[in-house]
Amino acid sequence: MSDAGVSHAAKNPMGASAAHTVSSAGAPPHPRDILLGAQAAAGLLPVCDHYSGAPARMRKSLQLQAEMAEEFGACVFDVTLDCEDGAPVGAEAEHAALVAALACEAAPGARVAARVHAVDHPAFANDMATIAGEAGHRLCHIMLPKVESIDDVLQAVHALERAGAAHLPLHALIESPGAVHHAFDIAAHPCVQSLSFGLMDFVSAHGGAIPASAMASAGQFDHPLVVRAKLEIASACHAYGKVPSHCVVTEFTDMAAMQSAARRAARELGYTRMWSIHPAQIRPILEAFSPAQDEVLEASCIIAAAAEADWAPISAGGVLHDRASYRYFWQVLERAHQTGRSLPHAVQHWFASSHC
């Protein structure tokens, strides 16, 4: 890239109008469409996925989601209503009906998902028929546990089709060594939006070869087999533009441990989303997955200047930037918005209010 090809609009980017190219149809193209293309959808999931299964907790989770959306100006976490661990044994059908009812009763635009039973569980077919069939229009995705191979994904896709909810994305929970081996095949399926790592079942699947300490907040980042599995899942997701979602931290009263684990998942292992199993974990996850305010300011300066230059190369602070780096800085801004960070005025117009 030569200096002759570099715009100097970045000299005063925050004072620029951030005007951007107008298409032939008269509508300005959105940076997401210009910079991300087919990857755009992958960046739109909230960074926190909060699980609850008991009836009272499911209702409280939905209420908390609405309150925090109002506080942050954006829907900062998903609520996943849990059938697998939440349904009492023998009352799976009743619990599925409750999940469907709660999803239908949720506030307009609420991001509500459901974790159904595994495809080989007797309750799976009814879960999908009831929840996807009755509440598919209100759900943001279905979480599918214990996915072992692409065959499980195909079975779930067929169940969604039978329920009239073929539009619903699937999130796959990877919980065994065999599933890790097939992670790339699973991530490649167009109906799969995200892969999650199931730490407890993964450790248990090794028959005692991995110690219990590897399930703790610190140990899960030290044991080689656990770290390898996490990296394989993250790599598979990034290879296909899907969202890698990190496992739970069970020490929910230790906020320092929670914060440390979330930060390491985001900064060391490439995860862009994480599970919460207690309301107290939501804010530490948001904080850990949020870009620092100075990163937000830098990204805003560069993106505003790039838009002013019609996305041609620019020089900012003596550093050359083009669409490759614009893509990175735009993703910083999207992550900031998803986590409730305040955005500078120059870029706010690209992030219309999106309460749940």
pLDDT per residue over 97-128, tens digit each? Answer: 999 999 999 988 899 999 999 999 999 999 99
27 has pLDDT over 80: no
pLDDT at 20 over 70: no
Q: Which domain holds residue 314?
A: 3-38+293-348
65 plus 187 within the same structural domain: yes
Tell me, yes or no, whether 54 lies in a domain.
Answer: yes
Give the model's confidence band at 3: pLDDT under 50 very low, under 70 low, under 90 confident, else very high: very low
Q: Does the pLDDT at position 170 exceed 90?
A: yes
**Same domain, residue pair 31 and 91:** no
Residue 36 has pLDDT above 80, yes or no: no
Domain count across the chain? 2
Q: Among the three residues 289, 308, 328, which one is the final residue of a domain in this structure? A: 289
Residue 310 falls inside a structural domain: yes
Claim to verify: residue 285 and residue 301 sit in the same structural domain: no
Q: Which of 245, 268, 289 is the last residue of a domain?
A: 289
Tell me if 174 is assigned to some domain: yes
Please give the structure tokens belonging to residue 241. Answer: 């533009």
* Domain termination site, one of 261, 289, 317: 289
The answer to whether residues 169 and 101 belong to one domain is yes
- 233 and 92 housed in the same domain: yes
E strands in 145-300: 170-174, 192-197, 243-246, 273-276
- Where is average pLDDT lowest: 14-23, 139-148, 200-209, 281-290? 14-23
* Strand bridging mode 77-82 / 319-321: unpaired
Specify whether 98 is located in the same domain as 221.
yes
160 and 279 co-located in one domain: yes
The pairing of strands 112-115 and 243-246 is unpaired
Q: Do 205 and 110 share a structural domain?
A: yes
Confidence of residue 9 (pLDDT cuts 50, 70, 90): very low
Tell me: do 312 and 263 sit in the same domain: no
| CATH, residue 267 | 3.20.20.60
Domain contains 23: yes
Report pLDDT digits (tens) over 42-73: 557 999 999 999 999 999 999 999 999 999 88
Residues 6+ apart with CB under 8 A from 72: 339, 340
Exposure string of 31-47, with b = 16+ CB inside 10 Å and e = fewer, is bbebbbeeebebbebbb
Residue 237 lies in a domain: yes
pLDDT at 7 over 60: no
284 within domain boundaries: yes
- At 336 the pLDDT is 87
pLDDT tens string 212-239: 999 999 999 999 999 999 999 999 999 9
Measured distance CA(134)–CA(130) in Å, rounded: 6
